[in-house]
Structure 1
Amino acid sequence: MIQQIYPTPTHDFSYELNKDFHFAAAHSIPHETAGKCQYVHGHTYYANVTIAGEDLNELGFLVNFQTIKKLLHDRFDHGVMNDDEFFSEKSNEFPSTEVVARLMYEIIQEYLDTTENKPTCLQIFLRETPTSYVVYRPKRGGKA
């Protein structure tokens, strides 16, 4: 994994967990104003998930790193994001980096809400190219 400095969200939690991973995926933005991006093309995305909380689970984790990888990497790696159930069911949502970052947050937070210790996803950092990235942070209160 490449070494990166990520924007850091301000918070008062005792614990902060960060998980880096990368995945290869294709997408298109099927709109005439998207230029070359309207055609199917691929990227090697680099992601960082930031989770924070006060309480650890029975294993001493905020959340298991493997769980984050299963929820996100396994879902998007080596796929066409337009074919993901989220995008195929919503014709008005395109898999832009901004929307994918928000979707990743929603997937993670939905899982975290089911856990006993209830940590919070503070941000998703998603790099699409070496020079372009998005940071998604939910509004205060944790709602997307």
Structure 2
Amino acid sequence: MIQQIYPTVAHNYRYELNKDMQFAAAHYVPTERAGKCSRVHGHTYFANITIVGDELDDSGFLVNFAEIKELIHKRFDHSLLNDHDDLFSDEDAERFPTTEVVARTMSEIIQSYLDQAANKPICVQVFLRETPTSYVVYRPLAGGSR
């Protein structure tokens, strides 16, 4: 894992959890404007997920690190992102598997899982590095809106 300093999110919660992970995945961006990226190619993605909350669960966790990794790594590692038809689309630019959309989708997957927890943690940021020189930071709007 790359030693990395991530952008921080201002918040007033008692706890902040950050989970780093990496996964290897291929994708293509289905538009001519993507240039070479319109062809299938792969990346080793590096992600940092930031989750906040005021209360711990009955195991003493804000959320178990392993559960967050399971949600993302198991789903995306060694896959073609475009094949995840439930998440991405070749027809809708808002659902092309760009780094921006993948980061937003990761946030939505994680928040959907967190919404089931009694202590109600919140995913406030997904940092997703696609290459050593390119990354996206996604922060959901308050209230869960895009």
Fold match (TM-score > 0.5): yes
Aligned to 1:2: 2
Unaligned runs of 5+ in 2: none
Aligned to 1:56: 56
Deviations 1:81-139 (A, max 9, x none): 00013115x73121000000000000000000011000000100000000000000011
Distance in 1 between residues matched to 2:145 and 2:74, nearest whole Å: 24
Indicate the RMSD between aligned Cα atoms, in angstroms: 1.0
Tell me the secondary structure at the aligned position of residue 75 of structure 1.
helix
Q: Give identity over the alignment, percent.
A: 65
Tell me the secondary structure at the aligned position of residue 127 of structure 2.
strand
Tell me the secondary structure at the aligned position of residue 141 of structure 1.
helix
TM-score normalised over the length of structure 1: 0.96
Distance in 2 between residues matched to 1:114 and 1:104, nearest whole Å: 16
Are 2:116 and 1:134 aligned?
no
Unaligned runs of 5+ in 1: none
Are 2:130 and 1:116 aligned?
no
- Aligned AA (2:143): G
Aligned pairs, how many?
A: 143
Distance in 1 between residues matched to 2:91 and 2:55, nearest whole Å: 39
TM-score normalised over the length of structure 2: 0.95
Deviates more, 1:72-81 or 1:134-143: 134-143
Tell me the secondary structure at the aligned position of residue 111 of structure 1.
helix
1:32, CA displacement in angstroms?
A: 1.2
After superposing on structure 2, the runs of 4+ consecutive aligned residues of structure 1 that deviate more than 6 Å are none
Distance in 1 between residues matched to 2:99 and 2:2, nearest whole Å: 19
